[in-house]
Amino acid sequence: MTISAVLAPLPRADGSATFKSGLTTVIASVSGPMEVRAREELPDKAFIEVIVRPACGVGSTRERALEARLLSAISPVIIRSHHPRMCIQINIQLVEAEDHSDTTAILPAVINATMLALVDAGTPVNGILVSTLVETEGGRHVLAFEKGRCVLAESQGEFEMEELEQAVKEGGRRCTIEKDEEMMETDEQTVGMAIREAIEKKVKMDMRWRE
Amino acid sequence: MPLLLPGDPVIAPASQKKQQLKLGPGLTHTPPDNIVAHKAGELIIDTRKNVIWVEGNGRRYTPTHADPIIVTVLRGSADAYICAIPSSSSPAPSSVQATLPHLAFPNATKKTRPILAPGAVVYARVSLANKHMDPELECFDAESGKAMGFGELKGGMVFSVSLGMARRLLGDGNRMRGVWKREQKTARKEREEAGMTDAGDAEKEEEWEGTGAEVLEELGRLISFECAVGRNGKVWVEAEDVKSTLMVGRCLAAAESLGAEETKDMVRREVRALQG
């Protein structure tokens, strides 16, 4: 499965990212911190608004479900107290997917694209959340890791506890963003490495004026 | 300079003098002594001033005390102008509102106050910035009471650049290079004192040639124009004619991701094309 990530594909957004994983392509953009609508203003922290748009047609329950899951995954990572009474708006545009009704397969790409867009925007975050889909014999698991800890697990299907444990182990390996000697030897491209490379490339581009 | 990703821990440099360590943008301190980066960028360490910060780039501006910025007047009220701080070119509404008191101008009294029409572009300095309050602006230097270049910007055009670019145009790139050179020098001295060979290390040293402000230097050498750079990523330019003004704007946009030499070449090309 080929994974590719690009930061700042949208020149007018504060932060944006494209994330491709296999047949799934997602574009995320982040605006903010900006003014918030009065009824959504929180006195001590930033309000986070998530909008998911499908590849075709108008959004429905499926997109709302994705929004809710993305919000619960991403909001603990953002340091919201840095921008009280402000709004951080996250826009997700699904571009391509193998099966558009399969939100479990789309969710990891959505989380990764959002995380990269947040980094591009310079939004204060606690760490980098990396997500992947692990398939086991009886189930499919969306797992997200931050600093090596599993912080999100959304599973589907019938499976044993050991299967989940194994999935978490496999997911942790794929999601690590730390450079590892062992990993360098194998040619396998992991999600974590793709994300690290994309961010490194962006910072390098930002510092090109030094040359 | 080391690359930092959000969540990476930072080890505070040991300072010889008993100076308090200052953390700049991009770093969060959790007591007792954990320092963690909260955005991606390069870590800049200034051991002389004992300051560390993360240098990155962004597009959305958050008002910070003493920053010179370019604002537009929205409306007047009894004792202040309400201004919008434009930042980034994103279509989402960006305006953070700030107040510019009538008395915050040089030689202003209750009877004589500057007249600014809605829509006027003003170069001002942030006099109060706090995440819980709306920012306040001033158009004079508090120490000398003079304008110091602040005030209404008549004519000309305003161009958008990234926040990092705006900072570089104001000379931050040059200052950072100075800090870096000094750090390199002390590191080299330490290595020599330790008796290590220098040959391998010299090759390893990175190059830091540019200051990031070459575009203005080169343009200033070739044509005449006035400009004011706001830290909110706005640059006001006025040249002899509209054509030259637009050319300066084009150069600023193009210089965003170019190295020093490339920038100079690009500027020379543009000026030649303009002068025909």
Cβ-defined contact of A209 to B168 (cutoff 8 Å): yes
Residues B142 and B213 in one domain: no
Choose from B36, B60, B184 for mutation: most chain A CBs within 10 A: B60
In this structure, are B98 and B129 located in the same domain?
Answer: yes
B115 and B168 belong to one structural domain? no
Start-end of H helices in chain B: 163-169, 172-193, 199-204, 214-222, 242-255, 260-275
> What's the pLDDT band for A84 if we cut at 50, 70, 90?
very high
B222 and B146 within one domain: no
More confident call, A211 vs A98: A98
Decide if B110 is inside a domain. yes
pLDDT band at A89 (very low <50, low <70, confident <90, very high): very high
Residues 235-274, chain B, touching A (beta carbon < 8 A): 255, 257-261, 263
- Percent of chain A's residues with pLDDT above 90: 77
pLDDT of residue B113: 82
User: Do B150 and B74 have their domain in common?
Assistant: yes
- pLDDT average, residue stretch A26-40: 91
Cβ within 8 Å, pair B131-A83: yes
Domain annotation covers residue B187: no
Kindly list the residues from chain B whose CB atom is less than 8 angstroms away from the CB atom of residue A207.
Answer: 42, 55
What percent of the residues of chain B are helix, what percent strand, and what percent coil, each to the nearest 5? 25, 30, 45
Q: Is residue B169 part of a domain?
A: yes
ipTM of the complex: 0.89
Closest residue in A to B43 (Cα) is A203
Range of B246's domain? 163-174+206-275
Indicate whether B60 belongs to any domain: no
User: What is the pLDDT tens value at each position of chain B, 276 positions in all?
Assistant: 788 999 999 988 776 667 888 899 999 998 888 899 999 999 999 888 889 999 989 889 999 999 999 999 999 998 999 999 988 766 555 567 899 999 999 888 888 888 999 999 999 999 999 888 889 999 988 788 788 889 999 999 999 999 999 999 999 999 999 999 988 888 888 888 887 665 555 555 667 888 889 999 999 999 999 999 999 999 999 999 999 999 999 999 999 889 999 999 999 999 999 988
For the cut 70, the answer to whether the pLDDT of residue A108 exceeds it is yes
Contacts of B52 (CB under 8 A, 6+ apart): B10, B12, B13, B21, B22, B23, B24, B27, B35, B43, B44, B45, B46
| Chain-chain contact of A199 with B5 (C-beta, under 8 angstroms) | yes
Q: Does residue B91 sit in the same domain as residue B147?
A: yes
Number of domains observed in the structure of chain B:
3
Q: Does residue B181 belong to any structural domain of this protein?
A: no
Are B96 and B7 in a shared domain?
Answer: no
Asked whether residue B179 is assigned to any structural domain, the reply reads no
Same domain for B44 and B72: no
- pTM score, two decimals? 0.92
Task: Go through B54-67 and write b for each residue having 16 or more CB atoms within 10 A of its CB, e for each that does not.
Answer: bbbbbbbbbbeeeb
User: Is residue B74 domain-shared with residue B124, that is, in the same domain?
Assistant: yes
Rg (CA), chain A: 17
**Same-domain pairing of B168 and B147:** no
Interface check for A208 against chain B (CB to CB < 8 A): the answer is yes
Indicate which CATH number applies to the domain containing B73. Answer: 2.40.50.140
Q: Among B158, B133, B124, which Cα is nearest to B248's?
A: B158
Domain architecture of chain A: domains with CATH: 3-210 (3.30.230.70)
| CB-based contact B70:B236 (threshold 8 Å) | yes
CATH number of the domain residue B261 falls in: 3.30.1370.10
Has residue B228 been placed in a domain? yes
In 3-state terms chain A splits into helix, strand, coil percentages (rounded to 5) of: 35, 30, 30
Task: Tell whether B42 and B80 lie within a shared domain.
Answer: no
Q: What is the CATH number of the domain that holds B17?
A: 2.40.50
Do A32 and B5 make contact, defined as CB atoms within 8 angstroms? Answer: no
Question: Residues of B with CB below 8 A from A208's CB?
Answer: 257-259
User: Is residue B108 a part of any domain in this protein?
Assistant: yes
**B83 and B107 share one domain:** yes
Q: What is the pLDDT of residue B216?
A: 94
Q: Which of residues 189-228 of B touch A (CB under 8 A)?
A: 207-212
